[in-house]
Chain A
Amino acid sequence: MTTVTKPSAESLLVRRPGPQELHPVRTHRRRRALELALAAAVPLLLVLLWQLAASQAWIDDRVYPAPSTILADGWDRAAAGDLWPDVWATLKRVLAGYAVGTAAGYVLGLLMGSLPLVRAALEPLLDALYVVPKLALLPIFLNMFGLGEGPQVALVAVTVFFFVWISTMSAVITVPLGHRDAGRVFGASPWQMFHHVLLPASLPQVLVGARIAAGVAVLVIVASEQIAATNGLGHLIFDSRALFQNDVMFVGIVCVAALGVLFSELIRLVGRLLTPWAPRDRGRGQS
């Protein structure tokens, strides 16, 4: 098919080393520096723009206080100790709910992933519950647990539960048959099968679910604290808005954002330590 090539029209296609090959260390260093600079510069630029807009009165700084005001206010409140009780209250609820929800979701996901009968029995029910907005369950939890910490923790737990349950179940179902068969042929007991095969095989995917759940847990607690709590960051945000303390409201928002980032990075770090064999998860999840 290739016709005899005419030398006149011929050119030379050259594959030669690029900058990355000629100076690997330098190129890598520059690339890292550029990535870090971009990661820092974009938020910084937006904050500066905001500052400028507030100081130039392009926006009403009573409604949108300048970043410097928010920072100063946040610093003062933190130094005076007004901020920590709210942060601590939120953190406690998130951690407690997260622990309960993850554990329950993992156990049920594992059972449903490995036992088809349990899956047949529970899957339709859980699918139906999954689509109910979790915040709509708050009144039920309020009736069940009263006004204390119970409803908040329960709400976080239920939210987290579904994320972890679904990712665990699908992870266990998709464990390659060959992996299970190898264990079965050796005569692995259910516990051995779990410990040597199912747990490590499913863990990377479970951790992705767990990390998304970490973000959503913070999201849900803020909403529920607004409705039914007397402290916590969610309460702080909405309470201060009601009192026209917009700078305090923004301090709360910044705290929530920081809490969410720290929490989900913590889960990512734990995941990396738990699954040294898995490819690094650099995604941000859709939380």
Chain B
Amino acid sequence: MGDPHPKLHATELTRTFGRAPRAVEALGPVGLTIAPGEFVCLVGPSGCGKSTLLRIAAGLLRPSTGRLEIRTTSPRPAAMIFQDYGIYDWKTVRANVRFGLDIQRVPRREANARADTWLARMGLADFAQAYPATLSGGMRQRVAIARALAVEPELLLMDEPFAALDAQLRMILQEELLELTQTTRTTTLFVTHSLEEAIVLGDRVLVMSARPGRIIAEQRPPFPRPRTGDIRSTPEFTTLKSELWALLRKEAVPA
């Protein structure tokens, strides 16, 4: 690739779970390069190691072989958003959003101000003092997004963040995320099951094979930024989607 300074660069990355003789090869080998500011979507069948790759990037898991490099200015460049939100029931919405800042020992006054900015941006300002249990699923996921973005991460890792939401809410949050990332230009690795989601959001869509997951195809959705969800109705969108589906179907059918 042309970029001499990629944000994230993985070579020959594999991950095996368990020990021989019952070892399961979950991932790879995978090579991956992400440029600064790029939004990369990873699609693949269930259990293909998408999340494993993400967890390696997050530093939650070590690779079995290979290496993954992140070019960064801070020791903890990544923030992660989980499928089941991962927000804490025992913290108010504002305290949840402030969590990453509290961990980084940002002074309380500044942390509150930054948390409130993000709450306002996510339309949660009125719920700052509410507990997550009183919120709907979509609002909880907004809290999780605000929590991740409040630390201004250099690398945003999203693990099927909208999988637990209903279809309409999904589309709405996709639009919001699109708007958000187009202004912040945060480097993002986004794992999803949904081809549509990947095409709408991604600068690049990578298709993974069934386990052990390798990257079998790469597509650049031909929609200039800033874009909106309206691209769903274009013929290019439909063509790209069926193209990717043809690839993915072969992998998704159980062997």
Contacts and interface: CB of A to CB of B under 8 A. Distances in A.
A16 B187 CA distance: 21
Contact of B65 (A10, A13, A17): A17
Contact of A16 (B20, B63, B73): B63
Interface residues of A, number: 20
Given A7-B5, A13-B72, A24-B19, A2 B184 contact: yes
A5 B154 contact: yes
A11 B73 contact: yes
Interface residues of B, number: 32
Contact of B72 (A11, A16, A18, A25): A11
Given A12-B70, A15-B63, A1 B184 contact: yes
B69 A12 contact: yes
B64 A15 contact: no
Contacts of A189: none
A2 B152 contact: yes
Contact of B154 (A2, A7, A17): A2
Contact of B36 (A5, A18, A28): A5
A136 interface: no
Main secondary structure of the interface of B (DSSP, over half): loop
B186 interface: yes
B211 interface: no
Interface in B154-209: 154, 184-187
Contacts of B184: 1-2
A15 B68 CA distance: 5
Contacts of B185: 2
A30 to B, nearest CB: 13
B248 interface: no
B71 A12 contact: yes
Interface stretch (B44-52, B54-62, B126-134): B54-62
Contact of B73 (A10, A24, A25, A28): A10
B75 interface: yes
Nearest to B156: A2
Nearest to B187: A2
B67 interface: yes
Nearest to A11: B72
The 7 closest A-B pairs by CB, nearest first: A15-B68, A13-B70, A1-B184, A16-B67, A1-B152, A21-B64, A18-B62
